A and B are shown apart, each in its own frame.
Chain A
């Protein structure tokens, strides 16, 4: 019962985030890049003043930047999961379908990829590619495709053993048709569950890379960038650092709760909570 309430709150919150990302310009009278220099570092005023969550060192409204930051986080989270999932699925399918040498080579590449500590790989690729929003997404795709390949390969190999696959091969279905009509739909639930649990990790990774200066660049209001800028003013203006972190936590926790919910509904035994 309590669990249901929490899960539905998470879903509601996530829907709100999407709405905020889409309608950000209509929700605030301020812009993300133009600040009022006579109102620098104003502490959070709540509902008693024009700056609900205060202003930053350029007099920009913190709440406005947080709202726009939703766009970056959701875009990075969803786009990189989608790209990595697509690439990994393709590799996994090819490996499981061709088997033999192709399979061995592809899976060794996966092993190599997974022999890198995750965040170190992210930082390394991001530093080589150079900092930008597009490169962060590419970096996260490169760093996270491998587990999908392993997952899809395993699923494909086991689904392939089923009699309905044999039956469709017997009636002359093409490999293409078997993969898209029979194998992928049967592997879809596990892919969806895994992807949804990845989004949170990728949102945090984007923030972390941006925090270190190799991700999204100022003045784009990524939450990681905001925390990085706030760091300089930690002694005097805590709110610059505090609120973006809260946004990251709320977003990640709600995405993770939704992912867990999906996991439980697809396999009740695997419930870890």
Chain B
């Protein structure tokens, strides 16, 4: 197990390094990034000074070496707008995003797992309704859902604030928008896993032993059936990292998603690069932890 963790950790670091390099080359692919970063009407001398200051006049390879060297030392560039280390801005925005992500994750589990179990163990009218809702939910764009909720709950009924961060009330709509899609995915996967396991022979054996149905379900079936759900919850972090961009923009939530969108608008690309790199590194480590959790709950998996 330890050997597996170390191996995966090294691999994760490697992948993260490659991903950071990819960010560097995507930016350079379009040519001189000066034009991406300076205002559109900047004069020639401003542009030349800027290029020199940022090191864009050096050869690409030496720029790359500088970039990676600085990255290793925790220097992800300086915000052009706030004249502050970009990493600081990202870290300041982190708690808001973490709060939103965790509450969306909690919502998806609390809704998705019970619904999945109910529809998984018996089929009938309720099962059909929930299945139809799941299919429908996968087609709903989150930004549209957010706007419609603002229209109904803020504009029409004045129950919830349109945006910002503060009380529990501020958290409700962003959480629903973020957790909507993943709730439906978790419902779906739980359902198919539970219904598959429920037909297996070990369940019949447990019943034949005269165990109560609740024991059969909780102790025998769910322990096995919920394993894929753990992986899915881990994977949904990737969906949330994309979802925050939209959700935070709509609800003016002061997190990393809004920081990224605003920085793109302001052409503050050092911040965009820092935020994207930061998220990629975090995401890789969460994937690693999901794998470890999976090995831990399923004794059959011993990755080495």
Q: How many residues of A contact B (CB 8 A)?
A: 49
Does A183 touch B at the CB level, under 8 Å? no
Q: Which of B231-270 contact A (CB under 8 A)?
A: 237-243, 245-246, 249, 260-261, 264-265
Q: Smallest CB–CB gap between A65 and chain B, Å?
A: 16
Within 8 A of B (CB), among A217-262: 224, 227, 230-231, 234-235, 238, 241-242, 244-245, 248-253, 256-257, 260
Task: Tell me which of A115, A204, A224 contacts B15 (CB under 8 A).
Answer: A115
Per the 8 Å Cβ criterion, residues 108-141 of A in contact with B are: 108, 111-113, 115-120, 122-125, 127-130
Residue of A with least CB distance to B23: A124
Q: In the complex, which range does the number of interface residues on chain B fall in?
A: 35 or more
Compute how far the CA of A24 lies from the CA of B105 in the bound complex, rounded to whole angstroms. 42
A212 at the interface (CB under 8 A from B): yes
A2 located at the interface, meaning its Cβ lies under 8 Å from any Cβ of chain B in the complex: yes
Tell whether, in the assembled complex, residue A256 and residue B283 are in contact, meaning their CB atoms are under 8 Å apart: no
Contact B246 A117 (CB under 8 A): no
Query: Could you tell me if A212 and B261 are in contact, using CB atoms closer than 8 angstroms?
Result: yes
Closest partner residue, chain A, to B30 (CB atom): A128
Q: Is the CB of B136 within 8 A of A234?
A: no
Is A115 within 8 A of B139, CB to CB? no
Residues of A within 8 A of B280 (CB): 115-117
By a CB distance below 8 angstroms, the chain B residues around A214 are: 264
Is A272 among interface residues, defined by CB-CB distance under 8 A? yes
In this assembly, does B99 line the interface, its C-beta being within 8 Å of a C-beta of chain A?
no
Residue of B nearest to A117 (CB): B241
A250→B136 CA distance, assembly (Å): 9
B155 on interface, CB distance cutoff 8 Å: yes
On whether A248 and B139 interact (CB within 8 A), knowing A120-B279, A241-B148, the answer reads yes
A211 to B147, CA, bound (A): 12
Find chain B residues with CB under 8 A from A118 CB: 238-239, 242
Q: A234-B155, A253-B136 are in contact. Are A211 and B22 (CB under 8 A)?
A: no
Q: Which residues of B contact A74 (CB under 8 A)?
A: none
Min distance, Cβ B268 to any Cβ of chain A, angstroms: 11
Give the residue name and chain of the A residue nearest to B147 (CB): A241
Taking the nearest CB of chain A, how far is it from the CB of B106, in angstroms?
19
**Are B18 and A235 in touch, CB under 8 angstroms?**
no
Question: Contact at B264–A127, with CB atoms within 8 Å?
Answer: yes
Contacts of A112 in B (CB 8 A): 15, 18-19, 22
Contact residues in B for A234 (Cβ distance below 8 Å): 147, 150-151, 155
Q: Which residues of B contact A207 (CB under 8 A)?
A: 141, 143
Interface residue A44 (Cβ < 8 Å from any Cβ of B): no
| Contact partner, A235, options B135, B155, B237, B238, Cβ 8 Å | B155
Question: Do A117 and B261 form a contact, CB below 8 Å, given A128-B29, A235-B155?
Answer: no
Binary flags per residue of B257-293, CB closer than 8 Å to A gives 1, else 0:
0001100110000001000100110011001000000
A234 CA to B241 CA in the complex, in Å?
26
Inter-chain contact A272/B155, CB cutoff 8 Å: no
**Known pairs A211-B143, A227-B147, A248-B141; A108 contacts B239 (CB<8 A):** no
Residue-wise interface mask of B (21-45) relative to A, using a CB-CB cutoff of 8 A (1 in contact, 0 not): 0110011011000001000000000
A200 an interface residue at 8 Å Cβ cutoff? yes
Residues of chain B lying within 8 A (CB to CB) of residue A2: 128
Which residues on B sit within 8 Å (CB–CB) of A242?
A: 148
Shortest Cβ distance from B15 into A: residue: A115
Q: Across the interface, do A123 and B260 meet the contact criterion of CB distance under 8 Å? A: yes
The yes or no answer to A208 lying at the interface (CB within 8 A) is yes
Q: Which one, A117, A124, A129, A213, contacts B238 given CB within 8 A?
A: A117
Distance A234 CA – B143 CA, assembled complex (angstroms): 13
Pick from A117, A245, A253, A257: contact of B242, CB below 8 A: A117
Q: Answer yes or no: B192 CB below 8 A from chain A CBs.
A: yes
CA of A115 to CA of B29, assembled, Å:
20
Interface flags for B101-132 (1: CB within 8 Å of A; 0: not) read 00000000000000000000000000010010
Within 8 Å by CB of A238, from B151, B239, B265, B283, lies B151
A123 to B29, CA, bound (A): 16
- What distance in Å separates the Cβ of B263 from its nearest Cβ neighbour in chain A? 9
Bound state CA distance, A108 and B283, in angstroms? 17
Specify which of B15, B23, B131, B242 is in contact with A273 (CB 8 Å cutoff).
B131
| Complex CA distance for A244 and B140, rounded to whole angstroms | 11
Taking a contact as CB atoms under 8 Å apart, the answer to whether B246 and A227 are in contact is no
Give complex CA distance A131, B289 in Å.
36
The 8 Å CB contact of A111, one of B15, B155, B279, is: B15
Query: When chains A and B are docked, how far (Å) is the Cα of A2 from the Cα of B191?
Result: 20
Told that A120-B260, A253-B138, A260-B135 touch, could you supply 14 new A-B pairs with CB distance under 8 A?
A111-B15, A113-B22, A119-B246, A120-B279, A207-B143, A208-B142, A212-B249, A235-B155, A238-B151, A241-B144, A241-B148, A249-B141, A252-B138, A272-B189
Q: Show 10 A/B contacts (Cβ-Cβ < 8 Å), sorted by A.
A: A112-B19, A117-B283, A120-B241, A123-B242, A128-B26, A130-B30, A241-B144, A241-B148, A245-B141, A250-B139
B-to-A contact residues, CB < 8 Å: 15-16, 18-19, 22-23, 26-27, 29-30, 36, 128, 131, 135-136, 138-145, 147-148, 150-151, 155, 188-189, 191-192, 237-243, 245-246, 249, 260-261, 264-265, 272, 276, 279-280, 283-284, 287
Shortest beta-carbon contacts, A-B, top 8: A119-B242, A245-B144, A252-B139, A117-B241, A253-B139, A112-B18, A117-B238, A127-B264
